[in-house]
Chain A
Amino acid sequence: MVNTFQTRDKELEKGLKERTGLVFFPAFDWAISPTHPEREERLLYTRDQIFEEGIMDLPQIRQYQPRLAQAKDIARVHFCVPHIESQATLAHRIAAGGALVLADALMKGEIKNGFALVRPPGHHAMRVVHGNRGFCNINNEPVMVEYLRQRYGLRRIAIIDTDVHHGDGTQDIYWHDPDVLFISFHQDGRTLYPGSGFGNEIGGPLAQGTTLNVPLPPGTTDEGILFVVDNLVLPVLEEFQPELVVNSAGQDNHYSDPLANMSFSARGYAKLNEKLAPDLAVLEGGYSIEAALPYVNMGIIMALAGLDYSLLQEPDYKPEYSREAPGRLEKIRVMVEGLREVFSHREKLVEEARRRLGPLAQRRRQIYYDTDQIREEQLETLRVCEDCPGYLTIKSIARGPGGRNRVYCVSIPIQACPRCQREGREKYQGAIRKSSRAYDHIYLQDRVADEYGQYNHSTGDISLG
């Protein structure tokens, strides 16, 4: 064979794998409404800052263009009512697709980690989606996680939600999944939207301890948040041994955020990401678009790329913003200890639940969609199984300005045993057969077969993808 320089090039290429992948999709032509915090301007100054810094020119960074997430990518996670197109607009599909592009790049070994700097955000979007909640319709991280599981066979994944708001959507999606560790630290739900995320929310009966919530007192600083990272997140990750760590990276913990009351700094965010060392980070909220986002986003990129961030600082930063009040730190310490206790006993908790529960476990909930003013009532039934985390059926009725929607959903998890898969599919078929007037739409989510079905009662259409 003739040896050209080409083989030498390929060797050179190997050395470049230590790069950080970046998708920057500011959606400059998308807004919830003209003056809404989720508007065109949100990442404008971030663009100015990162472009002016020239950070994309560095050999440590590789920029990627997002793609459109497919309907199937979304169906793996959500039951969209009445259909995917109504909830996942082009902007949502590109934001989720941005995360998918980085997931592929990571798995192909092109990058060592990645940051999807995309909007719109997603972590308030739950499994059933009747509309927009907390600025979210489609949950980007679960779409990415389920894609990684199907496409690359990953199983155990950790999602750390660092947004100031409780990641109630992501929590809902992984509530019953013992293989996805979900940790959210956020401003106490008694003082902030969505009003959930308390210490006692630790996951469904068969997945207890793999959901952990740290409600932080308003005013918590760098010191307090990094304390949670050092003393809860990192030790728990060490024990859980995930194949992949995802940062659901909100930026509204910042001291200047107009929608929350915390005191986190840009350098704090950088340090957080350096410690957490996520494989993939996806932007969530953050609405201090001038005073925080340009600097926080720089900080996250710098930390992921292993660049020195000691010279990064907001123009109005004061050292006292980062210093924790002793009383607050003590409160946080107590909480962290309790949660570590829960985590270390998680297997025992699940064992006890299996013994205690009958064949079915139910939870009844009311969910409010603030943006779209929809009220949803949900009855979720878990099939308690000896051999797997069990399949779910969900009855959901939503009432809002657009009228009433009643749906029935069957969700078969990726770890489902053959019996649960069979039973779940029978439930779906049975519901269609009965075709009673009780439901407008009937859904199937079979993650084992990677098949997703929907039945429309009024038209009689059945689709399977």
Chain B
Amino acid sequence: MLVGIDVGGTFTDGVLYGNGRILESVKTPTEDDNLQETIITVLDDLLRGRKGEDIRRLVLSTTLVTNLLAAGQGDEVALILIPGPGLNLRQLQFFPQAHIIKGATDFHGRITEALDGEEVRELGQKIVAAGIEKVAVVGKFSQRNQRQEGQVEEILLARHPHLKVVKGFGVAGELNFPRRAVTTYYTAMTQDAWGEFAASIKRALVQRGITSPIDILKADGGTMPLEASLNSPCETIFSGPAASVMGALALTMDEQTAVVVDMGGTTTDLALILQGKPLHASRGAMLGGYYSHVRSLALRSLPLGGDSAVRWTGEEISLGPDRLGPAACFGGPVATPTDAVNFLAGGHLGPLSLSQEALARVAHPAGLKTETLAQDLVGQVIEVLKDSIKEMFKSWEEEPAYRIWEIVNKQRVKAQRLVGIGAAAQAFVPILAKEVGCPAFVDHYSPVANALGAAVSRPTLSLQVHADTRQGSYYLSLDGIVGRCKGDLQLADVKDLARKHLRQLAAQRGIGQYADRSEVFLAEQFNMVRGWSTTGKLFDVGIKIAPGVIDDYKGV
């Protein structure tokens, strides 16, 4: 049996999956200040009368880190930046409280300005005097030379061994220094809180006799083992929408191009699945208002849902963004878009009279017929969703490309299907699909698709190798791994190197059985020519285990 639990902002969903079907599903309000409790409650409900040892896998998608970031909780962190020449971070208000120090490394990893040891020592004293124990240190191009970040750590620990220093190169080795700084900072900030949470969950499960692997859902739609998550707590943010998208994939189980419409009470999340693969955001998730290196799915969130309150303000009719309760036809206090659909369809969702009365209470003071209001409301909701879907496809098509073949071969894509998830999907997705011009798919399991998605998502792992034969070195974007390479290295060798490291890292993380599912997504090589002769080669190779469902899962 598999368990998937998706902790959402309002509700927490859980499913128990086994024998090719959903055996049990649970929905309960989320207690924000006691997520462990919520999770355990859902688990106990799912397991009622069943044995904990029968569980083979448990996957959690939680909002803990999202909440920590939103509330500005977590540990206080001193951020030390080594930007060298370039953008003026102060003027950009990029972490105004950050400590910017001397030192610089260039794109070849050459140190072009030395650190000032005295400056770092003084800074250490200041940090300690302020009672701060966590330090994040991040340098521009530190992934190509770890030396200066390492030196800062050495200098700080020499006098203040109790400090905990997190270095940028170990957190995120892809290009983009500000995103590296953001990711490192929030990693340092949330690591301990996440660690405590993980430990308490683990304890509670052991008490229930559950000894199965515990996996955590990530923003990219894949999972990681609980132990691996201790180093990268930020990967757990935005896993809720990822759970829904993976749920859509789990319900459809084919290679179509689809739009996932996750329509809840007050919000709607849109995502794309391109030929069976969820689309990732090109920029990485937003942490604390900044882009980060956390890979996440490309999502569009709209403050509009089936229960958005409809009001007459005295001047105009407003829609949302808040919710006062369920739709009137389900016993709620005011008219909602769901009521408009219900009214127009003659009461197929709930009592027609309840919807009609609620709509009339808004329509009359506005001088509108109830029917006109209902049509306007549905029209507006559909139009907004349709526009957003169009924009999503457009921005995917407009993703920058850097090679001729990418531009020439770029294809326009069209949705083959709209997959509806969430409470309001049944009401709106069929209408929306007609407008978009493709079939709608709304399964009866759609309301718990998110938890199902969590339960059956497979692990993901992504890394890049940057190799420089003139230096005889290569650099991994993961865990700050570096190594030596030969001068006659070829692209095929670098791909092998990438595969080898992926296998090792996957094994270390306890997800080794998926290493052979890896695919190369980036393979570039450049001759370095100085004068008129080639003096070396540069390679960039990216490899990943993409999101998908686990092997045992064959659909419901």
* Chain A interface residues toward B at CB < 8 A: 1-6, 24-30, 34-35, 39-41, 44-45, 47-49, 51-55, 57-58, 63-68, 90-91, 94, 290, 294-295, 298, 302, 307-315
Interface-centre pick from B106, B110, B179, B304 (highest chain A CB count, 10 A): B106
Chain B: which residue is nearest A97 at the CB level?
B407
Chain A neighbourhood of B408, CB < 8 A: 68, 90
A5 touches B88 (CB 8 A): no
Check A54/B178 contact, CB under 8 A, given A1-B316, A302-B87, A315-B106.
yes
Report the separation of the CA atoms of residues A347 and B108 in the bound assembly, to the nearest whole angstrom: 54
Q: A52-B176, A311-B87 are in contact. List 19 more A-B contacts (CB 8 A).
A: A1-B316, A1-B317, A5-B319, A27-B402, A28-B402, A28-B526, A29-B404, A35-B534, A40-B527, A48-B175, A52-B175, A53-B140, A57-B291, A65-B407, A94-B407, A294-B107, A311-B88, A313-B85, A315-B112
Report the separation of the CA atoms of residues A1 and B318 in the bound assembly, to the nearest whole angstrom: 9
B404 touches A30 (CB 8 A): yes
Check A1/B376 contact, CB under 8 A, given A6-B384, A39-B527, A94-B404.
yes
15 contacts between A and B (CB under 8 A): A3-B318, A3-B319, A5-B319, A6-B380, A29-B404, A40-B527, A47-B402, A48-B107, A48-B175, A57-B283, A67-B407, A68-B408, A91-B404, A294-B107, A308-B88
B404 touches A65 (CB 8 A): no
A34 touches B527 (CB 8 A): yes
Report the separation of the CA atoms of residues A40 and B373 in the bound assembly, to the nearest whole angstrom: 59
A24 touches B91 (CB 8 A): no
Q: Is B9's beta carbon under 8 Å from chain A?
A: no
Taking the closest CB of chain A, its distance from the CB of B320, in whole angstroms, is 7
Q: Is B115's beta carbon under 8 Å from chain A?
A: no
The residues in B between 233 and 278 inclusive whose CB is less than 8 angstroms from any CB of A are none
Report the separation of the CA atoms of residues A5 and B399 in the bound assembly, to the nearest whole angstrom: 26
Q: Is B403's beta carbon under 8 Å from chain A?
A: yes
Interface residues on B, range: 35 or more
Q: Is B86's beta carbon under 8 Å from chain A?
A: yes
B176 touches A65 (CB 8 A): no
Check A39/B112 contact, CB under 8 A, given A55-B87, A307-B91.
no
Taking the closest CB of chain B, its distance from the CB of A3, in whole angstroms, is 5
Chain B neighbourhood of A295, CB < 8 A: 85
Report the separation of the CA atoms of residues A311 and B538 in the bound assembly, to the nearest whole angstrom: 29
Report the separation of the CA atoms of residues A47 and B291 in the bound assembly, to the nearest whole angstrom: 19
Q: Is B165's beta carbon under 8 Å from chain A?
A: no
Chain B neighbourhood of A312, CB < 8 A: 85-87
A41 touches B529 (CB 8 A): yes
- Which 6 A-B pairs rank lowest in CB-CB distance, beginning with the nearest? A315-B112, A54-B178, A48-B107, A51-B175, A308-B88, A313-B85
Q: Is B33's beta carbon under 8 Å from chain A?
A: no
A44 touches B87 (CB 8 A): no
Report the separation of the CA atoms of residues A24 and B178 in the bound assembly, to the nearest whole angstrom: 20
A52 touches B177 (CB 8 A): yes
Chain A neighbourhood of B37, CB < 8 A: none
Q: Is B400's beta carbon under 8 Å from chain A?
A: yes
Q: Is B24's beta carbon under 8 Å from chain A?
A: no
Chain A neighbourhood of B140, CB < 8 A: 52-53
Q: Is B161's beta carbon under 8 Å from chain A?
A: no
B533 touches A35 (CB 8 A): yes
Check A65/B401 contact, CB under 8 A, given A5-B321, A53-B87.
yes
B526 touches A44 (CB 8 A): yes
B403 touches A28 (CB 8 A): yes
Report the separation of the CA atoms of residues A28 and B540 in the bound assembly, to the nearest whole angstrom: 12
Chain A neighbourhood of B112, CB < 8 A: 315
Taking the closest CB of chain B, its distance from the CB of A51, in whole angstroms, is 4
Report the separation of the CA atoms of residues A94 and B140 in the bound assembly, to the nearest whole angstrom: 31
Q: Is B441's beta carbon under 8 Å from chain A?
A: no
B141 touches A52 (CB 8 A): yes
Report the separation of the CA atoms of residues A40 and B92 in the bound assembly, to the nearest whole angstrom: 33
Chain A neighbourhood of B320, CB < 8 A: 4-5
Chain A: which residue is nearest B176 at the CB level?
A54
The residues in B between 162 and 212 inclusive whose CB is less than 8 angstroms from any CB of A are 175-179
B178 touches A26 (CB 8 A): no
Chain B: which residue is nearest A58 at the CB level?
B92
Chain A: which residue is nearest B181 at the CB level?
A54
Report the separation of the CA atoms of residues A25 and B407 in the bound assembly, to the nearest whole angstrom: 10
Chain B neighbourhood of A55, CB < 8 A: 87
A298 touches B86 (CB 8 A): yes
1/0 contact string of B387-426 vs chain A (CB within 8 Å)? 1000000000011111111011000000000000000000
Chain A neighbourhood of B360, CB < 8 A: none
1/0 contact string of B85-112 vs chain A (CB within 8 Å)? 1111001100000000000101110101
Taking the closest CB of chain B, its distance from the CB of A390, in whole angstroms, is 39
Chain B neighbourhood of A54, CB < 8 A: 87, 176-179, 291
Report the separation of the CA atoms of residues A90 and B402 in the bound assembly, to the nearest whole angstrom: 13
Taking the closest CB of chain A, its distance from the CB of B397, in whole angstroms, is 8
Interface-centre pick from B85, B113, B373 (highest chain A CB count, 10 A): B85
